[in-house]
Amino acid sequence: MPSRKFADGEVVMGRWPGSVLYYEVQVTSYDDVAHLYTVKYKDGTELALKESDIRSQSSFKHRKSQSSSSSPSRRSSSRSRSRSRSPGRPAKGRRRSASQSREHKDDKKKTLQETSLALVVLVLLKPSENNTKRYNGEPESTEKNDTSCIILEQKLKPDLEIKRVLEQYSLRSRKDDKKTEEIFSEKKTFVAVKPIEKVPSKTKELEFGGRIGTFMLIFLLPATVFYLLLMCKQDDPSLLNFPPLPALESLWEWRVFGVFLLWFFLQAVFYLLPIGKVVEGLPLSNGRKLQYRINGFYAFILTAAAIGVLLYFQFELHYLYDHFMQFAVSAAAFSLALSIYLYVRSLKAPEEELAPGGNSGYFIYDFFTGHELNPRIGSFDLKYFCELRPGLIGWVVINLAMLLAEMKIHNLSMPSLSMILVNSFQLLYVVDALWNEEAILTTMDITHDGFGFMLAFGDLVWVPFVYSLQAFYLVGHPITITWPVAAAITVLNCVGYYIFRSANSQKNNFRRNPADPKLANLKFIPTATGKGLLVTGWWGFVRHPNYLGDIIMALAWSLPCGFNHILPYFYVIYFICLLVHREARDEHHCKQKYGLAWERYCQRVPYRIFPYIY
């Protein structure tokens, strides 16, 4: 196996994917397994390049001088990067040098098509400040090309070769069948190109406090759940009134564990039903796309029908309330077993299937964050399944059980207004998530984080047992609220939901089809990856408007519990911390992905989540 040719830190010339142009880049690392160099462009964009796409600077200087002296026609080719040049025109205007003519006896048309395509790719992908201004609707300044570090490669490749290059880097224009004239058109402001994903290499920047942090979280997260549930059961759930520890044997019941397993596998059966459309996820680092069945909403309907049947046959759903702690222990035991299984199987997974965020080589860290990105048994995607089904649907079933328990314990003919609000708000949230299930495919959880303890515990224990805390609290600590208060809280929840939903939809629609006429009024900054960053609309208000809406809703879920204790406000406090941390993680990833364009976006939209505050 030949050793690497370029060293870390070396400044070389790297080919811009899909084009015939070379930019000055710095080698930042090398992946021995994938044989790819990570290089950094001057605008901060990082890409993984093959050795064949990298040249030493000296070889270029040599070629450049040769080229400029021997072939004046080439200089005119270089100038043809100006947008004023129509792709159809060079066919007539360009004179081919004698050497080129000798080299390429191919069909003239083919050559010209190829050249046009290469230029299209160049215009689409070249990180240009002027483009940013133009797309933002700012006055356009005279176009200046940074020719100092760009050299047009002499070799002209046939169409097929260009196509291969585009596929290799997962680059594709929004409409492959679009004519090049259309792509060059002044009217077309943007052509989406699939993101350029790096082939996963070792995770160098550790999150969550690194090895020590993740080790502690493995104990801290379950301890927090049990503390909250024990507190909630107390008559006086004040923070300083520490609950007595229950006897160990009271925490486990095989029957409860059996019910939990039954629930989990029932959801798995619903997931496997051949109903609902099948969609493709984002391209993986190897260019492959996984398929996902979108039937979460059907699973919810089937679950609702099953619960209805159980209630019809007088099944006492408050069994869940009576054994709540045992259910939480069962779910925690199951998620731990699942995490161990996931880690063991990840050891055999090919390098390219490991998670970008969970491949540090440290056992504890990878076990916690998840080593394998998309663990699957056949077509059964374990992470995707756990993200939205057993835990999320389980959450609303638990809420319903709490509502019934409240009625039974307090001998009510109707649930309390507070309980109705909490149940309705959270039901709306879950139904919304399931209705928009496809949107999860572009989230960090699916694209970046592996499936390990963090997500397994989060999905199966934290979400159903901590997010239902308000309903659990209300059973033991009834609160009476007036209709006007209920109306005000409902308005708050609706405002939060409106921001949350419209911000998420705006971004998802933009990602799916940037040329959607409904989004025509929105401005965006183009980035070197081909994807744009919205700078008007919700995403021009703050950098994470969806988080803002989510936090407003979280507050609305806690308010029906009154102000006697802080316990029901745990969710909103925790959620602010979670989203502030998540926002920081996302910023970091976006900075790496988009470089200068992301910095420009941050300048245009200075606040992260809370306008004028943070």
In the complex, which residues of this chain contact ligand NDP (CB under 6 A)? 442-444, 500, 504, 507, 510-511, 531, 533-534, 539, 544, 546-547, 550, 582, 586, 589-590, 601
CB-facing half-sphere around the CA of 609: CA atoms within 13 A? 21
For residue 439, the minimal CB distance to ligand NDP (Å) is 7
- The single residue listed with the structure tokens 């370029």 is 6
Q: How far is the CB of 502 from ligand NDP (least distance, A)?
A: 11
Residue type, 139: P
- Measured from the CB atom, the residue of 216 and 282 that comes closer to ligand NDP is 282
- DSSP characters over 95-141: PPPHHHHHH--S-HHHHHHHHHHHHHHHHHHS--HHHHHHHTTPPPP
Cβ-contact 236, 387 below 8 angstroms:
no
Q: Give the integer Cα–Cα distance in Å for 449 and 387.
A: 12
Q: How far is the CB of 212 from ligand NDP (least distance, A)?
A: 24
**Whole-angstrom Cα distance, residue 144 to residue 314?**
76
Of 1 and 613, which CB lies nearer to ligand NDP in the complex structure?
A: 613
**Cβ atoms of 407 and 414 closer than 8 Å:** yes
Residue number with CB closer to ligand NDP (14 or 514): 514
Distances from the Cα of 58 to the Cα of 13, 24, 55, 145, 150, angstroms: 9, 12, 8, 22, 14
Nearer to ligand NDP, 16 or 547 (CB): 547
| Minimum distance of ligand NDP from residue 241's CB (angstroms) | 28
CA distance 50 to 38: 9
**Residue 367 tokens, joined:** 């076990």
Q: At closest approach, how far in Å is the CB of 194 from ligand NDP?
A: 11
Q: Is the dihedral angle over the CA atoms 153, 157, 163, 165 positive or is it negative?
A: negative
The minimum distance between CB 8 and ligand NDP, in angstroms, equals 27
Instruction: Quickly list DSSP for 417-432.
Output: HHHHHHHHHHHHHHHH
Distance, in Å, from the CA atom of 289 to the CA atom of 301, rounded to the nearest integer, reads: 29
Token pair listed for 301: 């309907």
Q: Which is nearer to ligand NDP, 77 or 170 (CB)?
A: 170
Burial class (CB in 10 A: 0-12, 13-18, 19+), 466: buried
Rounded least distance, CB 515 to ligand NDP, Å: 14
Nearer to ligand NDP, 57 or 136 (CB): 136
- Beta-bridged to residue 37, according to DSSP, are 30, 49
Residue nearer to ligand NDP on the CB measure, 366 or 387: 387
In degrees, to the nearest 5, what angle opens at C-alpha 118 toward C-alphas 22 and 126?
A: 55
d(CA 348, CA 360): 16
Residue 528 DSSP code: T
- Residue with Cβ nearer ligand NDP (115 or 285): 285
Beta carbon nearer to ligand NDP, 104 or 589: 589
Which lies closer to ligand NDP via its Cβ, residue 22 or residue 547?
547
CA atoms within 13 A on the CB side of 206: 17
CB of 467 to ligand NDP, least distance (A): 7
Cα dist from 214 to 117, 218, 614, whole Å? 48, 6, 27
CB of 337 to ligand NDP, least distance (A): 23
3-class secondary structure, 534: strand
State in angstroms the smallest separation of the CB of 60 from ligand NDP.
Answer: 32
